[in-house]
């Protein structure tokens, strides 16, 4: 090729002087085009998954006792998140080693296999072609150490007990050992992973009787052995018989699979439903001891200390040089240092006493010496004006709800406000006159970082709240900048109301009002069927959840496997409720069916929405 290009170039250059510049330019172009390599173009983009040419042994082989499996494909492959997606059922003590050699996938292991057992290697979609990453969906390699390959299946769905949403990274375990302790002490006979929709299917199961569990396996042990692992169990036994035969999943190797959109995904319904929960904490211990600010120490416990109490001493502290508070849950003790000789130190020694569960399971008082460190950030160069005290207020939105209390919050304890620098006015919008409004400040009884302002403010009126510099301050000498905030008190007719007629359940229930992201906004306890209302609702979309309060304690109770107690059931109103401004919605809700949650939708029956009065 180079020889032909050079000949062409010489022929152009040997022409007469006429057109000298043009031949030189053409010669340069020809040489450049000859010298530049390029890949051939054309041909459709590869959209097909790798196809299996052969395997040693064959998929479905019986009486196999080897230690190595080789699967050969028609093209080069890659493995996507193989450590997460690959699984063996029944589990092996040590996971097999998986490697790629040429166009072959090699699986090797040293474990002695169980007698007369069908093994299934699940790859999900981890095997993909090298060029376009086209996956083989749901690929499984199966063999048996006995004369037959077991062909029965167990299917079901796993949902989080409180939200009824599919849990993430969840295993399903099937045990032939029916002892309650087996799930904590031994490996399961069969295992699989829950799909994104909460569906599971365990294939190649032998006929027999089993117990069924779901587990979020925090330590990769394949059994339930940590108290903070999400867990689910089926009350009844699972009897697997030839009636449980299900058509095997299709082998999709080499088959072009259509792309699925999320909206097209149909949640398959299995034979069994499991509801995942986390056990209540029972062990007492110190979970953390940060020092987020130089004058703030914080101690967090696994459970509130209750009557056992919490003690603290700082050997180098003078009496009255600090005070303590607790968070609303009671499990966090906050210590505010008030003496600069204390909080100026980068390291403080504290001695604390708190409830602790020992190795025998008994609760005792444990005394610990805890070193509290704080490293102050390096100061910036030059003169820097101290940052003002940052205060947040319920006035920031510019509109208060009727009967809403005016609050002020800081990250540090407030000193007494200087009321000579604080004014509250009612503003007449017509003539712009300002009428002073009397007010008083009230401290929060449990939180030194919160103040309440009490004043007679009226709906539809306009107000102006003014604070001069240093009107607010904290106990460390930091003060606010001057600000002015305009606000109104909204009228009742700018809000909506939701009325609910709850029926068809005997017993106590908790009705929760949720926003569109399922965050709890309000809740009401009902002892029996009847009517309840949620008023002063802003325009927007809402959801409803009912908790079947079976033990009557006024809260949702989680499950307990040791006590054989399932989590209290819940259900969701079957659609989203879309409220406009100044609307009333009258809804009838039949709560007979427990643990139901449908797709979010504003369509359906049972709701009458009309303009409010």
CATH number at residue 354: 2.60.40
Determine if residue 198 is left, alpha or beta; phi over 0 gives left, psi from -120 to 50 gives alpha, anything else beta: left
Angle between helix 2-13 and helix 21-35 axes, rounded to 10 deg: 180
Residue 383: predicted pLDDT:
63
Q: How confident is the model at residue 392 (pLDDT cuts 50, 70, 90)?
A: very high
Residue 112: predicted pLDDT:
93
- Residue 371, pLDDT above cutoff 70: yes
Q: How confident is the model at residue 402 (pLDDT cuts 50, 70, 90)?
A: very high
Closest to 69 (Cα-Cα) out of 116, 123, 132, 115: 123
179 and 226 fall within a common domain: yes
397 and 348 fall within a common domain: no
Please provide residue 214's backbone torsions phi and psi, each rounded to the nearest 5 degrees: -130, 150
Separation of alpha carbons 233 and 504, rounded Å: 28
Residue where one domain finishes, among candidates 324, 344, 373: 373
Task: Please indicate, yes or no, if residue 44 is contained in any of the structural domains.
Answer: no
| Least confident range of 213-222, 259-268, 384-393, 453-462 | 259-268
State pTM to two decimals. Answer: 0.81
Q: Would you state the structure tokens that stand for residue 111, as one six-digit string?
A: 């474990």
- Residue 602, pLDDT above cutoff 80: no
Task: Please indicate, yes or no, if residue 380 is contained in any of the structural domains.
Answer: no
Say how far residue 100 (Cα) sits from the centre of its chain.
35
Instruction: Report CA torsion sign: 533, 534, 536, 539.
Output: negative
Separation of alpha carbons 141 and 468, rounded Å: 75
Residue 262: predicted pLDDT:
37
308 and 404 fall within a common domain: no
Q: How confident is the model at residue 226 (pLDDT cuts 50, 70, 90)?
A: confident
263 and 350 fall within a common domain: no
Residue where one domain finishes, among candidates 431, 458, 490: 490
Task: Please indicate, yes or no, if residue 381 is contained in any of the structural domains.
Answer: no
530 and 460 fall within a common domain: no
Q: What's the number of domains the chain is made of?
A: 6
DSSP per-residue letters across 237-306: PEEE-GGGB-PPPP--TT-PPPP--GGGPPPPP-SEEEEEB-PPP----EEE----BTTEEEEEESS--G
Task: Please indicate, yes or no, if residue 384 is contained in any of the structural domains.
Answer: no
Task: Please indicate, yes or no, if residue 379 is contained in any of the structural domains.
Answer: no
Task: Please indicate, yes or no, if residue 544 is contained in any of the structural domains.
Answer: yes
By residue range, what is the domain housing residue 57?
Answer: 52-144
Residue 160: its H or E element: strand 152-160
- Residue 229, pLDDT above cutoff 70: yes
Give pLDDT tens digits for 34-89.
444 444 455 567 678 999 999 999 999 999 999 999 999 999 999 999 988 898 99
Q: Would you state the structure tokens that stand for residue 500, as one six-digit string?
A: 């609910």
Strand locations in 289-444, DSSP E?
296-301, 311-313, 322-326, 332-337, 347-357, 363-373, 391-393, 399-400, 406-410, 422-427, 434-436, 439-443
What is the chain's length?
Answer: 613
Residue where one domain finishes, among candidates 276, 303, 337: 276
Three-state secondary-structure class, residue 382: coil
> Do 187 and 222 form a contact (C-beta atoms < 8 A)?
yes
Task: Please indicate, yes or no, if residue 40 is contained in any of the structural domains.
Answer: no
169 and 272 fall within a common domain: yes
Give pLDDT tens digits for 241-295.
988 766 665 554 444 444 444 333 446 789 999 999 999 999 999 999 999 999 9
């Amino acid at each position: 090729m180079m020889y032909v290009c050079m000949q062409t170039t010489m022929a152009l250059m040997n022409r007469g002087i006429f057109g000298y510049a043009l031949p030189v330019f053409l010669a340069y172009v020809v040489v450049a085009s000859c010298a530049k390599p390029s890949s051939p173009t054309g041909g459709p983009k590869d959209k097909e998954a790798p196809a299996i040419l052969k395997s040693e042994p064959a998929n479905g082989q019986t009486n196999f006792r080897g230690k190595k499996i080789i699967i050969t494909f028609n093209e080069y492959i890659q493995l996507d998140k193989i450590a997460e997606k690959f699984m063996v059922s029944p589990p092996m003590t040590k996971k097999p080693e998986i490697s790629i050699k040429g166009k072959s996938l090699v699986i090797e292991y040293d474990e002695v296999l169980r007698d007369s057992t069908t093994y299934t290697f699940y790859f999900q979609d981890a095997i993909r072609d090298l060029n376009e990453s086209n996956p083989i969906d749901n690929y499984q390699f199966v063999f048996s150490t006995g004369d037959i390959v077991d062909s029965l299946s167990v299917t079901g769905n796993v949902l989080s007990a409180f939200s009824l949403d599919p849990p993430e990274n969840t295993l399903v375990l099937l045990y032939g050992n029916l002892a309650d302790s087996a799930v904590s002490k031994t490996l399961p006979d069969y295992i699989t992973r829950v799909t994104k929709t909460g569906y599971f299917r365990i294939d190649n199961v032998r006929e027999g009787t089993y117990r069924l569990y779901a587990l979020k396996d925090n330590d990769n042990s394949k059994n339930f052995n940590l108290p903070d692992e999400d867990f689910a169990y089926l009350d009844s036994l699972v009897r697997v018989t030839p009636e449980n035969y299900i058509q095997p999943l299709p082998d999709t190797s080499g088959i072009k699979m259509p792309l699925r959109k999320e909206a097209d995904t149909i949640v398959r319904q299995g034979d069994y439903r499991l509801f995942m929960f986390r056990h209540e904490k029972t062990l007492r211990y110190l979970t953390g001891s940060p020092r987020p600010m130089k004058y703030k120490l914080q101690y967090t416990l696994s459970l509130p200390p209750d009557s056992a109490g919490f003690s603290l001493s700082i050997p180098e502290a003078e009496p009255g040089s600090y005070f303590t508070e607790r968070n609303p849950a009671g499990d966090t003790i906050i210590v505010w240092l008030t003496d600069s000789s204390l909080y100026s130190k980068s390291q403080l020694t504290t001695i604390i006493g708190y409830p602790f569960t020992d190795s025998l399971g008994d609760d005792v008082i444990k005394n610990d010496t805890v070193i509290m460190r704080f490293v102050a950030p390096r100061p910036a160069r030059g003169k820097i004006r101290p940052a003002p005290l940052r205060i947040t207020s319920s006035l920031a939105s510019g509109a208060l709800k009727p009967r809403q209390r005016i609050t002020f919050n800081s990250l540090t304890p407030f000193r007494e406000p200087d009321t000579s620098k604080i004014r509250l006015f009612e503003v007449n919008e017509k003539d712009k006159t300002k009428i002073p409004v009397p007010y008083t400040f009230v401290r929060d009884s449990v939180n030194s970082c919160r103040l309440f302002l009490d004043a007679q403010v009226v709906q539809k009126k306009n107000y102006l709240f003014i604070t001069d510099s240093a009107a607010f301050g904290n106990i460390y000498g930091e003060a606010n900048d001057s600000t002015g905030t305009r606000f109104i008190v909204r009228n009742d007719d700018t809000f909506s109301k939701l009325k609910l007629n709850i029926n068809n359940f005997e017993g106590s229930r908790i009705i929760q009002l949720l926003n569109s992201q399922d965050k709890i906004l309000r809740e009401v306890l009902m002892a029996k069927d009847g009517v309840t209302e949620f008023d002063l609702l802003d325009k927007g979309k809402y959801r409803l959840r009912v908790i079947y309060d079976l033990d009557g304690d006024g809260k949702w109770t989680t499950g307990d496997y040791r006590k054989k107690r399932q989590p209290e059931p819940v259900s969701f109103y079957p659609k989203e409720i879309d409220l406009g401004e100044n609307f009333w919605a009258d809804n009838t809700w039949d709560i007979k069916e427990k643990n139901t949650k449908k797709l979010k939708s504003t369509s359906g029956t049972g709701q009458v929405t009309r303009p409010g009065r």
